[in-house]
Amino acid sequence: MNALAKLREPHSRPLQSTTACPSCPPFDLNICPATATPGQDHAALWGLLPVSEQTIPARRLMFRQRDLHDVVPFICKGWAASAVTLSDGSRRILSFLLPGDIVFHRAAHCSVEAITEVYCRCYRSDELRAALMSDRTLLEKAARLLLDRTLRAQQLAVDLGRRTADERIARLILDLQGRLTERGMANGQTIHFPLRQHHVADATGLTSVHVSKVLSDFRRCGLIEISDRSLTILDPAGFQRVATMR
């Protein structure tokens, strides 16, 4: 821990107040420092200070595929996407990152792109690893997280391989709604939905043209309503049925 303190020295800066991250409930879902030591400043993760805190404007690339991954970013606010770019220039979004998510995809050589404005904190990955290793319960939480990531990726593989465009898009929306609800960021059947149609397309392996047609169909059938970056599921039962047609 002394060594860690020394490592932190060069990065020391005036910390934001303990309410720097008031909209930080999501941390509770993952590896929440507040869970470990209630009432403590969220920024001080297990006594670790972030090496950097940044606000990234919407649509900006946060990390490119080949960047060194000696820091682990935590998304505190905003939406981001981790993606890979194929040699023909087409992009595949592997997951959307919501507040509370940890960006440890980096080994997969994913780039990370801010969708909305993103506020995030980066921790040194070696410090983080040391902290994990020193605490059995943290380690188990981290393992569960990694496992959950794997399941999510496998679920994605299932969806892409065997489902129609309708199903894929409906499932994506339901997945996001579920994750936002977990975080207390949903308002009943209405969620903030900052994704552009090309994001949906890249996440579902479709084209944005086709996404437009499917979403129009959904609207025509009275399943959902999208306006002003907000999405409402009007017919939850019917929409669920679309998502699980097979």
| Burial (Cβ within 10 Å: 0-12, 13-18, ≥19) of residue 13 | exposed
Which of a second copy, DNA, none interacts with 215 (beta carbon under 5 to 8 A by kind)?
DNA
Stretch that binds a second copy, among 49-57, 153-161, 176-184, 231-239 (CB under 8 A): 153-161
The nearest distance, CB 53 to a second copy, in angstroms, is 26
The nearest distance, CB 216 to DNA, in angstroms, is 4
| Burial (Cβ within 10 Å: 0-12, 13-18, ≥19) of residue 63 | buried
The nearest distance, CB 89 to DNA, in angstroms, is 11
Which residue's CB is nearer to a second copy, number 5 or number 157? 157
| The 3-state secondary structure of the chain, one letter per residue | CHHHHHHHHHHCCCCCCCCCCCCCHHHHHCCCHHHHCCCCCCCCECCECCCEEEEECCCCEEECCCCCCCEEEEEEECCEEEEEECCCCCEEEEEEECCCCECCCHHHCCEEEECCCEEEEEEEHHHHHHHHHCCHHHHHHHHHHHHHHHHHHHHHHHHHHHCCHHHHHHHHHHHHHHHHHHCCCCECCEEECCCCHHHHHHHHCCCHHHHHHHHHHHHHCCCEEEECCEEEECCHHHHHHHHCCC
Which of a second copy, DNA, none interacts with 2 (beta carbon under 5 to 8 A by kind)?
none
Which of DNA, a second copy, none interacts with 210 (beta carbon under 5 to 8 A by kind)?
DNA
Which residue's CB is nearer to DNA, number 109 or number 241? 241
Stretch that binds a second copy, among 52-60, 70-78, 104-112, 180-188 (CB under 8 A): 104-112
Which of DNA, a second copy, none interacts with 23 (beta carbon under 5 to 8 A by kind)?
none
Which residue's CB is nearer to a second copy, number 85 or number 116? 85
Q: How far apart are CA 94 and CA 83, in angstroms?
A: 5
Residue 3 within binding range of a second copy, rule CB under 8 A = no
Which residue's CB is nearer to a second copy, number 135 or number 222? 135
Q: Which one among 136, 188, 227, 228 touches a second copy, defined by CB under 8 A?
A: 136
- Positions touching DNA (CB under 7 A) are 59, 164-166, 196-198, 205-210, 212-213, 215-216, 228
Q: Residues interacting with a second copy, by CB under 8 A?
A: 84, 86-88, 90, 92, 94, 105, 107-108, 133, 136, 139, 143, 146-147, 149-151, 153-154, 156-158, 160-162, 204-205, 244-246
